[in-house]
């Protein structure tokens, strides 16, 4: 689409502009009221539930959009005349996809007919317009595509290049259609056996960067489905692979997708224990100082907070020599949400760990007393303040054995009194 900011020095005929977007129309269509809009703009208006004409406010008797071929040709001719001024010719729009056409494509995929070609066509439809993308998704394409992700029998360790390219193409198509926001309900129906999970694990281990990211996103989409346990008999393999990707830290997008998947998998207590058993706590604690964005730092802390809700997770966190210093550093330098997660984690391990008294001493030794005290003087969330106050109260029994000054003790008493 030619944007107005690129054509500020060029006079555009007013009737070439969409009344909604004020951009040069690339696919003009006319409503029953006689008003013409760019297809993408008016479709978005109608999809939002509006039943009136945006320009005239008339109630629409019909939502049928009629292509305005005459106006489109005039716009194209105008673009050609102004090419020397940097105006690009608008392409001739394609007709929207038909439901029966998409249904036929999905039937071909189910029966193995022209699979590679059909996957390409679906991806092409999804890229043409938002309406086509929505139609393809609503037709169940995600489930069908995911069902094709099956690890070949016999040569699973060294699959053929053709199979690798095919799987990467499917994952790319899923990502393009869904915009990396996989519909959980769709995917839970698609991933139905361990061979599909094994396929995704293989890609996580051996695929290219984009494929790894897409595979982790698909796994995230099914992580909270009710049939996940049945679909993943060897969930440890999935968890170990995701944790290894977090440890490697080579590709930020892959790390982000892996963290999102781990966060989704934390919904059940059984998975929290499994993540802890395969080294998830160690990997996450050691990841915190290297987190490149606030988003990944916050997500890793959220996972640790959830893991700290089970005994196994708490003992692993309190037993890691880096955990307390790193969490206290987050309290000083992190964003509000990260600070809240760090404070809650410290509270959980100092209150409920088997070695709670040792944890409290470690927090004091690492300078936690003054840092938590300073935190109470900032504009943090109510939950953060409540947990911080409880943390200070927990430390009272061990104050006498630590180098806290009398001034600090007096200040803490005034701050923590309720």
- Residue 153's CB is within 10 A of a number of other CB atoms, namely 7
Q: What distance separates the 2 farthest-apart alpha carbons in the chain?
A: 87
What's the CATH code, domain 4-85? 3.30.40.10
In the predicted model, is pLDDT for residue 93 greater than 50? Answer: yes
How far apart, in whole angstroms, are the C-alpha atoms of residue 288 and residue 323? 9
Classify residue 259 by burial, with Cβ atoms within 10 Å: 0-12, 13-18, 19+. buried
What per-residue confidence (pLDDT) applies to 222? 65
Tens digits of residue pLDDT in 185-237: 444 444 546 777 888 888 888 888 889 888 888 887 766 554 444 445 567 88
Tens digits of residue pLDDT in 313-364: 999 999 999 999 999 999 998 899 999 999 999 999 999 999 999 999 999 9
Highest mean pLDDT among 91-95, 173-177, 308-312, 411-415: 308-312
Is the entire prediction scored with pTM above 0.85? Answer: no
| Mean pLDDT of all residues in 140-154 | 85
In percent, the amount of the chain with pLDDT more than 70 equals: 84
What per-residue confidence (pLDDT) applies to 103? 93
How far apart, in whole angstroms, are the C-alpha atoms of residue 336 and residue 385? 11
Output 285 or 2, whichever has higher pLDDT. 285
To which H or E segment does residue 328 belong? helix 323-333
For 339-377, give the secondary structure using H, E and C: HHHHHHHHHHHHHHCCCHHHHHHHHHHCCHHHHHHHHCC
Of 99-113, 188-202, 206-220, 255-269, where does mean pLDDT reach its minimum?
188-202
Of 72-86, 87-101, 184-198, 322-336, where does mean pLDDT reach its minimum?
184-198
Which stretches within 159-234 are classed as H helix? 161-178, 184-190, 194-206, 209-222, 228-231
Output 190 or 88, whichever has higher pLDDT. 88
In the predicted model, is pLDDT for residue 179 greater than 70? Answer: no
Cα–Cα distances (Å) from 111 to 144, 148, 149, 189, 335, in that order, read: 11, 11, 14, 18, 51
Can you read off the two tokens belonging to residue 292?
């490149």
| Mean pLDDT of all residues in 36-59 | 91
Coil, strand or helix: which one is 8?
coil
What per-residue confidence (pLDDT) applies to 307? 97
* Helix, strand, coil percentages, rounded to 5, for the chain: 65, 5, 30
Can you read off the two tokens belonging to residue 245?
């990707």
**Residue 93 CA to chain centroid, in angstroms?**
32
Write phi, then psi, for 24 (nearest 5 degrees): -60, 130
In the predicted model, is pLDDT for residue 377 greater than 90? Answer: no
């Amino acid at each position: 689409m030619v944007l107005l900011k690129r054509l500020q020095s060029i006079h555009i005929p007013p009737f070439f502009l969409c009344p909604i977007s004020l951009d040069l129309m690339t696919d003009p269509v006319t409503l029953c009221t006689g008003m013409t809009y760019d297809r993408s703009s008016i479709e978005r208006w109608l999809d939002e539930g509006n039943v009136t004409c945006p320009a005239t406010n008339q109630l629409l008797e019909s939502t049928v959009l009629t292509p305005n071929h005459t106006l489109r040709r005039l716009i194209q001719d105008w673009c050609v005349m102004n090419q020397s001024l940097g105006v690009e010719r608008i392409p001739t729009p394609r007709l929207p996809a038909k439901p029966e056409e998409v249904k036929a494509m999905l039937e071909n995929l189910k029966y193995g007919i022209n699979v590679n070609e059909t996957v390409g066509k679906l991806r092409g439809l999804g890229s043409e317009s938002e309406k086509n993308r929505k139609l393809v998704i609503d037709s169940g394409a995600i489930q069908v595509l995911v069902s094709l992700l099956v690890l070949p029998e016999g040569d699973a360790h060294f699959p053929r290049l053709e199979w690798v390219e095919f799987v990467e193409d499917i994952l790319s198509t899923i990502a393009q259609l869904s915009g990396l926001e996989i519909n959980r309900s769709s995917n839970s129906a698609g991933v139905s056996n361990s061979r599909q999970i094994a396929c995704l694990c293989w890609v996580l281990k051996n695929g290219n960067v984009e494929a790894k990211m897409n595979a982790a996103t698909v796994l995230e989409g099914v992580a909270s489905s009710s049939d996940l346990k049945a679909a993943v008999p060897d969930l440890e393999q999935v968890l170990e692979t995701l944790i290894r990707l977090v440890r490697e830290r080579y590709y930020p997008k892959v790390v982000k997708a892996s963290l999102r998947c781990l966060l989704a998998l934390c919904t059940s207590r059984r998975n929290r224990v499994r993540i802890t058993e395969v080294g998830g706590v160690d990997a996450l604690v050691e990841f915190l100082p290297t987190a490149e964005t606030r988003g990944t730092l916050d997500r890793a802390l959220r996972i640790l907070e959830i893991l700290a809700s089970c005994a196994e997770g708490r003992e692993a966190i309190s037993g890691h020599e880096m955990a307390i210093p790193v969490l206290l550093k987050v309290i000083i330098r992190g964003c509000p949400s990260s600070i809240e997660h760090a404070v809650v984690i410290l509270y959980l391990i100092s209150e409920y760990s088997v070695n709670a008294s040792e944890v409290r001493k470690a927090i004091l030794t690492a300078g936690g007393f003054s840092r938590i005290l300073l935190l109470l003087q900032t504009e943090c969330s109510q939950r953060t303040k409540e947990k911080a106050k409880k943390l200070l109260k927990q430390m009272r029994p061990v104050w006498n054995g630590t180098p806290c000054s009398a001034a600090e003790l007096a200040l803490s008493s005034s701050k923590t009194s309720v």
